Amino acid sequence: MKDGILNPAQLLEYFQGHRRVTRKTIEKFPEKDLFEFSIGGMRPFSQMIEELLAIAGPGLKQIVEKTQEPHAESLGLSTKEEILKCWDEQTEIINTYFKQIPAEKFPEKFNLYGQYNLPIIHSIFYFINNEIHHRAQGFTYLRALGIEPPFFWEM
Which is higher by pLDDT, 109 or 6?
A: 109
Per-residue pLDDT of 40-89, as tens digits, reads: 999 999 999 999 999 999 999 999 999 988 887 778 899 999 999 999 99
pLDDT (0 to 100) of residue 153: 74
Write the DSSP symbol of residue 112.
E
Cβ neighbours, 10 Å, residue 90: 19
**Taking 90 as the threshold, does the pLDDT of residue 117 lie above it?**
yes
Burial string for 36-63 (b: 16+ CB within 10 Å, else e) reads ebeeeeeebbbbbbbbbbbbbbbbbbbb
Distances (CA, A) of 65 to 4, 61, 86, 98, 110: 25, 6, 21, 12, 11
Measured CA to CA, the distance from residue 107 to residue 119 in angstroms comes to 5
Whether 135 contacts 21, CB under 8 Å: yes
Distances (CA, A) of 33 to 37, 141, 145: 5, 9, 9
- Cβ-proximal residues to 112 (8 Å cutoff; 6+ apart), any chain: 59, 62, 63, 68, 118, 123
pTM of the model: 0.91
**Taking 60 as the threshold, does the pLDDT of residue 155 lie above it?**
yes
- pLDDT band (50, 70, 90) for residue 151: confident
Average pLDDT, the chain: 93
How much is the average pLDDT of 17-41?
Answer: 96
User: What share of the chain in percent tops pLDDT 90?
Assistant: 83
Mean pLDDT lowest for which of 65-74, 97-106, 120-129? 65-74
pLDDT (0 to 100) of residue 6: 81
Phi, psi of 90 (to 5 degrees): -65, -30
Helix axes 120-144, 45-65, angle to 10 degrees: 170
